[in-house]
Amino acid sequence: MESFDVAIIGSGPGGYVAAIRCAQLGMKTALIEKYSTLGGTCLNVGCIPSKALLDSSEHFHNAVHNFKEHGIDTGKVSPNLKQMIARKDEVVSQTCNGVKFLMDKNKVTTFEGLGSFVDSTTIDIKGNDGKSQQIKSKNIIIATGSKPNFFPGMEPDKKRIITSTEALNLKEIPKKMIVIGGGVIGLELGSVYGRLGSQIEVVEFAPNIIPTMDETMSKELTRILKKEGFKFHLEHKVQKVVNKGKSVELTVLNKKNEEVKLEADYCLVAVGRKPFTEGLGFEKAGVKLNEKGQVEVNDHLQTNVPNIYAIGDVVRGAMLAHKAEEEGVFVAELLAGQRPHLDYNLVPGVVYTWPEVAAVGKTEQELKDAGVEIKIGSFPIKALGRARASMDTAGVIKIIADKNTDEVLGVHMIGPRVADLIMEAVVAMEYRASAEDIARICHPHPTYSEGVKEAALDATGKRALHI
């Protein structure tokens, strides 16, 4: 039986990054993946394909709505969904092949098959041909990720009642799509089809969309998406979703608890994801799960079995690719005897709608609830010269600082390219910058980044310059 220093089950951004770092640190490393392509949810059916379709649909939207004003006349522009999906597939394939190349380059041994525990140091790998082989490993990292969640009455049939995976591969542009869940997936994939001409209706349980983000962002995004044609049913409870052949019918309870029927040709269920732990034989290794079904880990991402670790979506915390990656590096360095550090407060979150939403640190409400005395600076995107030049004027940048020390505690942005812009705030907060520090940094003109400086000036004595 072949032996390894470390074996990783699952090749998503958590698993494959852990494998690279383990190999870099001199460990003999195995990576086990049940699918034929590496990269996990993120590369195959998550981050990468969704962004590919978001970019294509954004080009289409601009061609229809914005080219004329920029002085570009086109003939009739029409979407070609088949080509959009084919381009997306090509992007996915290139990216997954890139991970295979990285494994080979780093001399990581990859196994295709379903990994399950035989005991705490032995893994059985069952190939798609039904044949099994076993490997031994001193340490094991569980990186098996997550899968779409749903509640009773909204079980996806993957035909008309679909999850994000099917929504990335539709054969037709829906005339109308109802999205259950006004979170990240619902708004991103709703945006893709909304831009291509579908009527999008969002049924959300909470009083706000993107309810875990700062309320200012949620309100601004609601306003912008409504202008784009989205319809929101907030504080609505879904009772039942029925596939009626060529359409779906939803029974929902509105705010007054009255029953309302909604109809569409597709219903996208996007109410969160749940940890993927099936078929792993945890009982044979003695690994414990918590009450949420996640693999239970301590601050070192170690399970109750000392040589077994777990990272990414399968453990507590934000279900984000970059969080999984950092945890992969963390465990690899820990196994190599280093003392890594990971600050979960500084994991940024992004929603890739247009405009984008991005955040790091605490929200205004979280700080108020914790009794922290704060001051807030904000600056509207429309006051930036760069934004007027590009005609991307919607949005706002909000910086929250400690009232007494001026330390930046949270930064929230909605606007063009804020997915990239948020990194200035992450770096600033990593070095525990004050709002004054950001306000005194020279920012290039004309850029969207000037909005960060202006918001910091506003936070420190209401001295923004261009408003």
444 prior amide bond cis, ω within 30:
no
Whole-angstrom Cα distance, residue 123 to residue 34?
Answer: 13
Whole-angstrom Cα distance, residue 306 to residue 49?
Answer: 37
Does the annotation mark 466 as catalytic?
Answer: no
Query: For residues 261 and 249, is the Cβ–Cβ distance under 8 A?
Result: yes
Query: For residues 143 and 314, is the Cβ–Cβ distance under 8 A?
Result: yes
Whole-angstrom Cα distance, residue 355 to residue 391?
Answer: 12
What is the contact mask toward ligand NAD in residues 302 to 341, using x (rule: CB under 6 A)? Answer: ----------------xxx---------------------
What is the contact mask toward ligand FAD in residues 267 to 306, using x (rule: CB under 6 A)? Answer: ---------x--xx--------------------------
Q: To the nearest whole angstrom, how small is the minimum distance from the Cβ of residue 147 to ligand FAD? A: 8
By CB under 6 A, residue 213 contacts ligand FAD: no
Q: Which does 322 bind (CB under 5 to 8 A by kind): ligand FAD, ligand NAD, none?
A: ligand FAD
Nearer to ligand FAD, 358 or 457 (CB): 358
What is the contact mask toward ligand NAD in residues 59 to 88, using x (rule: CB under 6 A)? Answer: ------------------------------
φ and ψ of 22, to 5 deg: -60, -45
Q: To the nearest whole angstrom, how small is the minimum distance from the Cβ of residue 96 to ligand FAD? A: 10
By CB under 6 A, residue 238 contacts ligand NAD: yes
Nearer to ligand NAD, 85 or 350 (CB): 350
Q: DSSP string of 21-32?
A: HHHHTT--EEEE
Structure-token match 């090749």, residue found = 11
Whole-angstrom Cα distance, residue 193 to residue 420?
Answer: 24
What is the contact mask toward ligand NAD in residues 351 to 390, using x (rule: CB under 6 A)? Answer: xx--------------------------------------
Query: For residues 376 and 329, is the Cβ–Cβ distance under 8 A?
Result: no
Burial class (CB in 10 A: 0-12, 13-18, 19+), 407: middle
By CB under 6 A, the residues from 165 to 204 that bind ligand FAD are 185
Q: Which does 34 bind (CB under 5 to 8 A by kind): ligand NAD, ligand FAD, none?
A: ligand FAD
Q: Which does 238 bind (CB under 5 to 8 A by kind): ligand FAD, ligand NAD, none?
A: ligand NAD
Structure tokens at 271: 């109410």
- Taking CB under 6 A as the binding criterion, the range among 89-97, 132-140, 175-183, 191-199 that sits at the site for ligand NAD is 175-183
By CB under 6 A, the residues from 307 to 346 that bind ligand FAD are 312-313, 319-322, 324
By CB under 6 A, the residues from 48 to 87 that bind ligand FAD are 50
**Three-state helix/strand/coil letters over 332-400:** HHHHCCCCCCCCHHHCCEEECCCCEEEEEECCHHHHHHCCCCEEEEEEEHHHCHHHHHHCCCCCEEEEE
User: Which listed residue (61, 233, 412, 445) is catalytic?
Assistant: 445
Among 12, 183, 275, 355, binds ligand NAD (CB under 6 A): 183
Whole-angstrom Cα distance, residue 335 to residue 62?
Answer: 49
Q: To the nearest whole angstrom, how small is the minimum distance from the Cβ of residue 336 to ligand FAD? A: 20
Nearer to ligand NAD, 32 or 264 (CB): 264
Q: Are strands 122-126 and 114-119 parallel, antiparallel or unpaired?
A: antiparallel
Q: To the nearest whole angstrom, how small is the minimum distance from the Cβ of residue 444 to ligand NAD? A: 27
Query: For residues 315 and 295, is the Cβ–Cβ distance under 8 A?
Result: yes
Q: Where are the alpha helices (DSSP H) in 66-214?
A: 81-105, 164-167, 184-195
- Taking CB under 6 A as the binding criterion, the range among 2-10, 59-67, 98-106, 182-190 that sits at the site for ligand NAD is 182-190
Active site residues: 445
| Residues near ligand NAD (CB under 6 A) | 151, 180-186, 188, 203-206, 211, 238, 270-273, 318-320, 350-352
